[in-house]
Structure 1
Amino acid sequence: MRDKDEASAMRKVFWALWTLVLLLKLAVAAKLPLFVDEAFYWQEGRHPAAAYSDLPGLTAWLARLGVELGGNHTLALRAPFLLIAALVPWLLARIAAREFGERSGWLAGCYGLLLPLSGTLGVLALPDAMMALATLLCLDAGARLLREVDARSAVELAAGLALGALSHYRFIAVIGVGFVALMLLPEGRRALRDVRVIIAVAIGASAWAPLVAWNMDNADAGLRFQLVERHPWSFHVDGLWFVAIQALLVTPLLFAALALAGWRGARDPSPVTRYLALLGSLVVLGFFVLGFFADTERVSFHWPLPGFLALLPLLPMVLARWPGWARGLTAGLAGATLLAMLGYYVAVSMPELRARSAGEKWYPSNFAGWDELARKVRARQQTMPAGTRIVADNFKVGAELGFALDDPRIAVLDHPINHKHGRAPQLRLWGLHSAGRADWDGKPVLLVVGVTEVEYKNLLQRYHDLCAMVGPLPPPQTINIDHGRQRFALFAFDGKPREGACTTPAMAWIDTPAAGSKIGREFQVGGWAFKDGVGLQRVEVMLDGRVVAQAEYGGELPGVREYWKLADGGRSSDPQHPKVGFTAKVALDAEPAGRHWLGLRLHGRDGSVEDWAEQPIEVGRR
């Protein structure tokens, strides 16, 4: 009777927690700006295909389903993924209850909600939600097959394998480790010899056919990106950070408990327990090892999630041996971290909070500024001739603007990040790769450039590359989001050929005061600024968006031109070099003490006016 009462109480806790987490995720997903990958998956969904350059077709199909049913809104786009994610803890609870008892099942399901990596699934329209569900289907089928091979288990295995294959290349790890785990067990080897299991595996393998066909038709571009181009495949110590980040995201106590569950489970006499322990441990350890050789530039902290899901059914047995305070602290830390991750998404959704983070390393640039950019583009487009085309300089801008304007056919120029993220082949297949002026047919074009998508040291080269594609750049309309941490430039081409030397947006740097420094109410500002092709007329110093001083422009700084080398051997072409330095004296009056934002307004000799990105300073009291 006591066991039933405890199970009933835990069931109530699970459903209360499940409801609360789902409501929180719905609220966050409704407000959170669209992440760039989500925008590209939306664009893929508007170009239906069996597979794409970056992943199989299921994610794009789900994105298309969401907007078809709910309209072109972020919550509608994310709705199918939220629904799939809601099934994950429930299925986890069912698996654990069948194998280890009802109370253990509901407890495992609760930790499936509290584990931050799984608790936040579905907030973003990404492949991980379906991968998690597919992993649990395969896990459940494998556990059943260890006892008895039947049609139900074989069908479940086929469904899990197929859904995983249609989700992401990364699911290969679950398949490979699952096969190894079964082969290490006598019961697993028996099951793998059964014809029903062989048929299920064949059905799962057939689901890879669209991806294989796409790669065969496109010179293995997707495989080369996923397995070769995006990874250095050389040892680097950054893998230690990967392990440390996992311990923090899973939370230290829960991480230790799952590690202990895998260690003990691998030695348990029960075949199902050993199977879960082997699959979970090998997946997690495999990704830990991969972290020392693989890509560290893009987000990868979610990779080991399938392994942690496999270990969660074993968690109640470990926690049962812990004292009450340790169990409470484990749940509390996991819940607090989950709330912190959802809180991060809330902060990203609030422009005023996001702007405060503009000077921090964790600034969420992939979420920032897209709505503001879309408003500016609409307004500028209305001032241009009818039929003006919008062209983006990279896939991020093209996809995000496409979603905001409900236009999946925005052309994109060649850009390093199109290749870095494996999207360049897909843009070419859609006919959205623009060569620049050569294929604009003399029609008016509004070119939208993501300035901050290029490292500053490479920005001048990028501007000259743009000149090579579209000719001299007209005076830009600059858009500074969050003090310029996210920065765009709009270039209006009227369709008439622009000849002459490459004219670029201005480049600048404030040497003094340094970003974040504490200053008095009177201080000196110094640095350099130039504008290739035409030069600058004057420089103004700004504080919090208003002009506070006129700078003396024209100081000799020969080292500036020497630094800005170009790929063809040339250097910055501002005709005023080396006289590109500026100084100014600023005296503040009514401004309160505390953080302010120091910027520049750059006036070009071609009539352009560009507000430069701002940097924070701390102003002292009187």
Structure 2
Amino acid sequence: MFIWHILCKWWRSTQHNGVFFGAFCVGVVVLLRLVGAAHIPLVPDEAYYWLWSRHLQWGYVDHPFMVAFWVRLGTTLWGDTAFGVRFAGLLSFGLANLFIFFAARQFFPSQTAVGSRAVWLLNGMLMASIGLIPMTPDVPLFMFLSMALWALAHALRSRGAWRWWALCGVSLGLAVDSKYTACLWGVGLVGYVLLSGGGLWRLVGPWLGGCCAGVMILPTLWWNAHHHWAGLLKQGGRALQWQPERAGQFLGELFIGQLALITPWIAGLCCIGLWRVRHSRASVLLWLSVPMMVIFFLHGMGDRVQANWVWVLYPPLILAGAGYGGRIKGAVMMGAVGSFIIYLQALTGLLPLPAHWDPIARLSAGWQRLAIEVATQARARGDSVVVVRDYALASILAFQKPDGIKIMGLDSRWAYLQGMPQISVQKALFIEDAHYAFAQTDMWRVERYKNRMPVRAYRLEIRQVPSGWQIR
């Protein structure tokens, strides 16, 4: 209670100085993220994007190119380390905070503290605390969407500001170059320009912005056109899945999961704010949000909506919540306490949770030791090649760079990486995930640990005449 009293008193003493407190808030979050980025080992998907950065090109079968360029920037400066892979993400999150701050002040100019409230809400979300540390396509996506909102807010305040419309288009195009879901913003923005009743479609600015967005996504379209539209078909094909008998489960997981990751209090503030802006100049936030909500709802009728997909919805939600002006002290502090607990567990493993209940350990712990053990097993049998079917496992083993061992991937997505050689050998050690099969005594296996607690088991066998792609 004493600590809570001190925090509340400090909050009241600083809430009138929004710029100072907003900067301080960003500084604390960046500091925590620096520690987490340096000390939490890479997860397999990050290692996969690291491999992309070794083969820079204008597109990949899973996502557009931006995340690979982000990783390459960081590793050029800091080497092939967890911090190097995540470095550009740390910078982009700090910039996103600034864009959110200034966008809020433009959308709600009559509210003096709205910029600071937007930053507090963003940094109070559990998803921002934990979801933007790993280097994924969501990291550059969030920064470019925040930048697009900032430019859009300026463009709407001065209807003839064609330069701001151009910047909005450039930002939105770069967001699409980060992740295809940014296209949903284009749907909402086109609807707002054409149907909101403000006559924006008569101005040069929105059309110029659309042209700029089109120019920015040309590299992504060019790569898809030269690879049989593989990226667009892979991502778009998910929308065709249909399992209505499980819709209740999928939609329930989506609702409860997002409520927990945004935190219930902040989610409530954002939804109320989104409803209240429907008749104001900030109604564009609602126009941007509705297409995404509809798509995620329809997808949830047939398949699971992954938690990180909803990142594209967060920037307008945060601004709407800040514009609502409700009490956010408790909401932000609740999120801060939750974030602190998650960081503490991730960095120290204070609670001896089983791997099934500790997703951070399940994804990040014990990879270096596992790679050493696999390399030892291979060399003991005279093999110099380790064969892996799963792309994520192959990527994380390749990142560990086991001495004297080549990693061969069997997944067909490696064929889309330029310069990835195909090889064939007489004999190799094959490894695959055996999940939690720790007690099976009749299986040749290695295990991954966090401290002394087993996290995952991996089955080993000898494969004759395998062929695939040499990813390392």
Give me the TM-score of the superposition, normalised by structure 1: 0.64
1:176 aligns to 2:173 (yes or no): no
Where does residue 363 of structure 2 map in the other structure? 366
Q: Structure 2 counterpart of 1:404, which letter?
A: Q
Question: What code does the residue aligned with 2:318 have?
Answer: L
Cα 1:484–1:337 change in 2 (3 A) is: closer
Is the 1:283–1:306 contact (alpha carbons within 8 Å) kept by the matching residues of 2? no
Q: Does 1:48 align with 2:56?
A: yes
Segments of structure 1 that go 5 or more residues without pairing to the other structure are: 419-423, 460-474, 499-622
User: Which residue of 77, 87, 94 corresponds with 1:86?
Assistant: 94
Q: Give the match for residue 413 of structure 2.
A: 425
Equivalence for 1:310: 316
Change (3 A) 1:334 1:479: closer
- 1:535 maps to none
Contact 1:43 1:399 in 2 (8 A): yes
| Partner residue of 2:446 out of 478, 483, 494 | 478
Distance 1:26 1:105 in 2: 24
Q: Say if 1:59 and 1:167, in contact at 8 Å, map to a contact too.
A: yes
Within 5 Å, which residues of 2 pair with 1:572-583?
Answer: none
2:408 & 2:369 partners in 1: Cα distance? 20
Instruction: Name the SS of the counterpart of 2:135 in structure 1.
Output: coil
CA gap of 1:328–1:15, structure 2 versus 1, over 3 A, is same
In the TM superposition, what whole-angstrom CA distance separates every residue of 1:298-335 from its partner, at most 9, and x where no partner exists?
x7223333333213233344334x5xxxx432222232
2:385 matched residue in structure 1:
389
SS of the aligned residue for 1:446 comes to strand
Residue 383 of structure 1: how far off its partner (Å): 3.9
Query: Which residue, 242, 252, 259 being the options, matches 2:271?
Result: 259
Report the Cα distance in structure 2 between the residues aligned to 1:344 and 1:169, rounded to whole angstroms: 33
Report 1 or 2 for greater relative contact order, CA contacts < 8 Å, sequence distance ≥ 6: 2
1:66 aligns with: 74
**Cα displacement (A) at 1:211:** 2.9
Amino acid at match of 1:342: Y
Identity over aligned residues, as a percent?
Answer: 19
CA distance in 1, matches of 2:333, 2:360: 27
Q: What residue number does 2:261 align with?
A: 249
Q: Counterparts of 1:288 and 1:51 in 2: how far apart (Å)?
A: 24
**Alpha-carbon distance in structure 1 between the residues aligned to 2:127 and 2:24:** 20
Match of 1:295 among 276, 287, 303: 303
Residue aligning to 1:201: 210
Q: Displacement, 1:94? A: 0.9
Q: CA contact under 8 A between 1:36 and 1:400: conserved in structure 2?
A: yes
Following TM superposition, by how much is the alpha carbon of 1:155 offset from its aligned partner in structure 2, in angstroms?
Answer: 3.2
1:19 and 1:7 map into 2 onto residues whose CA distance is 16
Do residues 276 (structure 1) and 282 (structure 2) align? no
The alignment's C-alpha RMSD in Å is 3.3
Q: Which structure shows the higher strand fraction?
A: 1
Larger Rg: 1
Quote the Cα distance in structure 2 between the aligned partners of 1:262 and 1:92.
16
How many Å separate the matches in 1 of 2:460 and 2:52?
A: 25
- How many Å separate the matches in 1 of 2:32 and 2:85? 17
SS in 1 for 2:354: helix
Find 2:429's aligned residue among 446, 454, 457. 446
Give the secondary structure class of the aligned counterpart of 1:167: coil
Q: TM-score with structure 2 length normalisation?
A: 0.83
Q: CA 1:251/1:138 → structure 2, altered by over 3 Å: closer, same or farther?
A: same
Q: CA offset at residue 164 of structure 1?
A: 0.7
Residue identity in the other structure for 2:313: G
Q: 1:133-160, CA deviations, whole angstroms, 9 ceiling, x for partnerless residues?
A: 2112222222222232324303311321
Of residues 135, 150, 157, the one that matches 1:125 is 135
Distance (Å, rounded) in 1 between the aligned partners of 2:39 and 2:307: 24
Residues 213 and 234 of structure 1, relative CA distance in 2, 3 Å threshold: farther
Distance in 1 (CA, whole Å) between partners of 2:253 and 2:431 is 36
3-state SS of 1:61 partner: helix
In the alignment, the residues of structure 2 paired with residue 16 and residue 6 of structure 1 have an alpha-carbon distance, to the nearest angstrom, of 10
Structure 1 counterpart SS, 2:257: helix
Q: CA deviation at 1:433?
A: 8.7
In the alignment, what sits opposite 2:335?
334
**Structure 1 residues 433 and 341: CA distance shift in structure 2, 3 A:** farther
Would you say the 8 A contact 1:25–1:342 is kept in 2?
Answer: no
Q: Structure 1 residues 39 and 21, CA, compared in 2 at 3 Å: closer, same or farther? A: same
Greater helix share, structure number:
2
Displacement of 1:287 in angstroms is 4.8
Gaps of 5+ in 2: 1-12, 467-472
Counterpart code for 1:153: W
Question: Which residue number in structure 2 is paired with residue 159 of structure 1?
Answer: 170
Question: Residues 409 and 78 of structure 1: is their aligned pair in 2 closer, same or farther, counting only changes over 3 Å?
Answer: farther
Match of 2:459 among 465, 489, 513: 489
Cα distance change on mapping 1:225 and 1:136 into 2, 3 Å: same
Counterpart CA distance in 2 for 1:334 and 1:283 is 27
Which amino acid in structure 2 is aligned with residue 412 of structure 1? G
* Aligned match for 2:399, one of 403, 406, 409: 403
